Structure 1
Amino acid sequence: MKVLLYFEGEKMLEKSGIGRAFDHQKKALESAGIEYTTDAKSKDYDILHINTYGLNTRKMIQQAKRQEKKVVYHAHSNAEDFKNSFIGSNAVTPLYKKYIVSLYSLGDHLITPTLYAKRILQSYGIQKPIDVVSNGINLAQFKPDAKKEQEFRAYFNLAAEQKVIISVGLYFYRKGIVDFVEIARRFPQYTFIWFGHISLYSVPKEIRKIVQYDHPDNVIFPGYIKGDIIEGAYSNADLFFFPSYEETEGIVVLEALASSQNVLVRDIPVYEGWLQDKQNCYMGHDNAEFSQLLEGIVEEKLPDLSKNGWQTAQTKSIQHIGTELKNVYEMVLS
């Protein structure tokens, strides 16, 4: 069995969650001993595993069908998580939905990262078989490391006693960036850092203003940072606060859990089945609840749930995902 992993526009998307999911797929297949290639010109493969939605993607699928290859489509996106992102995204969401449904329907088998994402696709009327396989997490990469934590604090010139709250995501309204900044205004004694970047020309004016100047002094937007600094931030911060309104999974949440970090998220359906309020994370519904919970976690008035969160991350290891992908591939070929 040989798999062609196809990812159109890799350079443009490498900093996104889809980009990290693609990287995890390669590692997962290696761990499961599955031969694969990323060479789109390859003809020597059994399964085409699609990750993206561009014009060349449809051509790749049509070519595979002509060669009687099986097609597995990884449904990373849906209409719900397209809303409240780029300029004009809400206006074109109906067209986007129609477009991705037409693409997904070309696959022999679909994969989604959560049960919630599967239900959304089924609500679109897609009849193809759908399996739920997490995007997974590289546990070793996010294991707490004192050297990485020191680099993080030195990079931002943080005093030893300074309390820090972090989040990671693109500059999208749906990611909760407006709420993140609003909460920061309420706690000037803490430092809030939002990691991530996307061209400000692509987001609405309100978001552009927030990132450029309309935020309090205790908020930092350092852009996209990878490696030791962000990994040190995950484990060394006092809290990972992710007020996103819509996700298909949320790889950054997995990264925080794997870093033995306390996590505060919005109570939304995507976390059903793997995150539980006051068990392995904390959940809030609005900024009033977020404020109360955030202070309680940072000031250690609430129980530390990081160990339980870490245990949750263990169930979504790269090795585990490799086994699940292998099962899907074998099912498709049979």
Structure 2
Amino acid sequence: MSGPAPVPAPRLRVLVPRGMDQLARESGIGAAIRHQEKVIRSLGHEVVRSPLDDFDVVHLNTPFPDTPLLARWARLRRRPVLMWAHSTEDDFRDSFTGANAVAPLFRRWIAYLYRRGDAVVTPSGYARELISAPKYGLRAPIHVLSNGVDTSFFRPDPSARGRLRESLGLAPEAEVVVSVGMQLVRKGIVDWVELARSMPGTTFVWYGRTDPRMLTAAVRRALAGAPPNALFPGYVQAPELRDAYCGADAFCFLTTEETEGIVLLEALACGAPVLVRGIPLYRDQFPDGEVTHQVTGEGPVFVAATARKLRALLDGELADLRAAGRAAAEDVDLDRVAERLAAIYDAAGVTPRRRAGVGATARARRTGGAPDAPRAAAR
């Protein structure tokens, strides 16, 4: 005889507010929010957009002024707050005009936000180490949960090679290197432009954009003086981005600081040969010569070393790590992220609240009271 059927997990209503989050739509945080929504639905839960609707838990992701207000609103309604720590003082530096000068103030602001959470979720062990420093003053539990990647969508596709070159107006045999991200010094775009200049026979394509009003002087100079083999198509939708990863001869990501970097996960999932700057996060998580190829350093010496290693990668002189990269991406596939998110919900005491249905409302009218109040969130 078969045993009893498993009892399905109770369905939650998860508030993922849109509000000012729309300002981050084209950033890594925007991608992380979209991934969260997919994961929530894959667990059988419902995504709620408005804080005025009934909800059981709130995910807060952005460092915008509405975030502490939403946290306060959830507390008033006795709902647990999961605060995503995507940003640190370190990765705020070298971002926008004046960022370095205000970085300590930014750290105090995000620390204030993170302290509003009943639990803090950050995408890597490296990020957890940073925000565990005393200057952040966090007391709530800190969970590590990758932003993840949809490996059923981002997957190898040899036919993308021709589509990519056709979309860029290039010859079928053109050698193409891509990078993806906002146009920030921290993302390595200044070094990337110089790398393109040093390799005129290769086409370098940067996908992503930044509001021109927020560009630093160094980035404006780099873009204005970029060589003809450096192309900037701007922000593109996911299918075009997938073709870029799958059709390129290499993905070259020269970021100087990350808490994870979703674009790297996407490139690995698509089987792109990858060259990255050897920052601490990537040295530990995607080791040089095992999952990615890496170059360390900065300035002209770094650019020259990167050009040599990229040339060797393009010429097939370095180890083929594409299978290892795909395996690393599969380890943070959204299905696995969903399992880990469910465990975080359990640890944070997230449970469905009793809904104030017709019966509760009728009782309230008869007694002159309010519908049954929700139970307090576990702290």
| Same topology, TM > 0.5 | yes
Residue of structure 1 in register with 2:269 after alignment: 258
How far apart, CA to CA, are the structure 1 residues paired with 2:282 and 2:62? 23
Residue of structure 2 in register with 1:302 after alignment: 318
Deviation at 1:48, TM superposition (A): 1.3
Residue of structure 1 in register with 2:299 after alignment: none
Deviation at 1:316, TM superposition (A): 0.6
**Counterpart contact for 1:284–1:290, Cα < 8 Å:** yes
Question: What CA deviation, in whole Å up to 9, does each residue of 1:58-88 have, x standing for no partner?
Answer: 1111111111111110111111111111111
The one-letter code matched in structure 1 to 2:216 is P
Match of 1:105 among 97, 105, 115: 115
How far apart, CA to CA, are the structure 2 residues paired with 1:225 and 1:70? 35
Question: What CA deviation, in whole Å up to 9, does each residue of 1:80-135 have, x standing for no partner?
Answer: 11111111111111111111101110101000000010011101332221010000
Deviation at 1:12, TM superposition (A): 2.0
Residue of structure 1 in register with 2:59 after alignment: 49
Q: 1:155 to 1:246 in 2, by over 3 A?
A: same
How far apart, CA to CA, are the structure 2 residues paired with 1:122 and 1:232? 38
Residue of structure 2 in register with 1:76 after alignment: 86
Residue of structure 1 in register with 2:76 after alignment: 66
How far apart, CA to CA, are the structure 1 residues paired with 2:80 and 2:24? 25
Deviation at 1:148, TM superposition (A): 4.1
Residue of structure 1 in register with 2:138 after alignment: 126
The one-letter code matched in structure 2 to 1:179 is D
**Counterpart contact for 2:174–2:202, Cα < 8 Å:** yes
Residue of structure 2 in register with 1:138 after alignment: 150
Deviation at 1:273, TM superposition (A): 4.2
Q: 1:93 to 1:310 in 2, by over 3 A?
A: same
Deviation at 1:34, TM superposition (A): 2.6
How far apart, CA to CA, are the structure 2 residues paired with 1:38 and 1:269? 36
Q: 1:326 to 1:273 in 2, by over 3 A?
A: farther
TM-score when scaled to structure 1?
0.96
Match of 1:115 among 120, 125, 139: 125
Instruction: Name the % identity.
Output: 36
Give the superposed CA RMSD.
1.4
Match of 1:16 among 27, 31, 52: 27
Ranges of 4+ aligned residues in structure 1 off by more than 6 Å: none
**Counterpart contact for 1:175–1:243, Cα < 8 Å:** yes
- Which entry has the higher C-alpha Rg, 1 or 2? 2
Unaligned 5+ runs, structure 2: 1-11, 297-301, 350-377
**Counterpart contact for 2:158–2:246, Cα < 8 Å:** no
Residue of structure 1 in register with 2:42 after alignment: 31
Deviation at 1:189, TM superposition (A): 0.7
**How many residues of Structure 1 are paired with residues of Structure 2 in the alignment?**
332
Residue of structure 2 in register with 1:202 after alignment: 214
Question: What CA deviation, in whole Å up to 9, does each residue of 1:157-199 have, x standing for no partner?
Answer: 1212211111001110010001101111111110001111011
**Counterpart contact for 2:39–2:335, Cα < 8 Å:** yes
**Counterpart contact for 2:115–2:137, Cα < 8 Å:** no
Question: What CA deviation, in whole Å up to 9, does each residue of 1:195-240 have, x standing for no partner?
Answer: 11011221112211222x2011111111111233221110111110
The one-letter code matched in structure 1 to 2:93 is K
Unaligned 5+ runs, structure 1: none
Deviation at 1:2, TM superposition (A): 2.7
How far apart, CA to CA, are the structure 2 residues paired with 1:100 and 1:227? 29
Relative CO higher for 1 or 2, CA cutoff 8 Å, sep ≥ 6? 1
> SS of the counterpart of 1:320?
helix
TM-score when scaled to structure 2?
0.85
How far apart, CA to CA, are the structure 1 residues paired with 2:161 and 2:314? 17
> SS of the counterpart of 1:296?
helix
Deviation at 1:289, TM superposition (A): 2.6
How far apart, CA to CA, are the structure 2 residues paired with 1:227 and 1:49? 24
Question: What CA deviation, in whole Å up to 9, does each residue of 1:217-266 have, x standing for no partner?
Answer: 11111111123322111011111000100111000000100100111111
How far apart, CA to CA, are the structure 1 residues paired with 2:197 and 2:47? 49
The one-letter code matched in structure 2 to 1:102 is Y
Deviation at 1:144, TM superposition (A): 2.7
How far apart, CA to CA, are the structure 2 residues paired with 1:218 and 1:288? 17
The one-letter code matched in structure 2 to 1:233 is A
How far apart, CA to CA, are the structure 1 residues paired with 2:160 and 2:50? 35
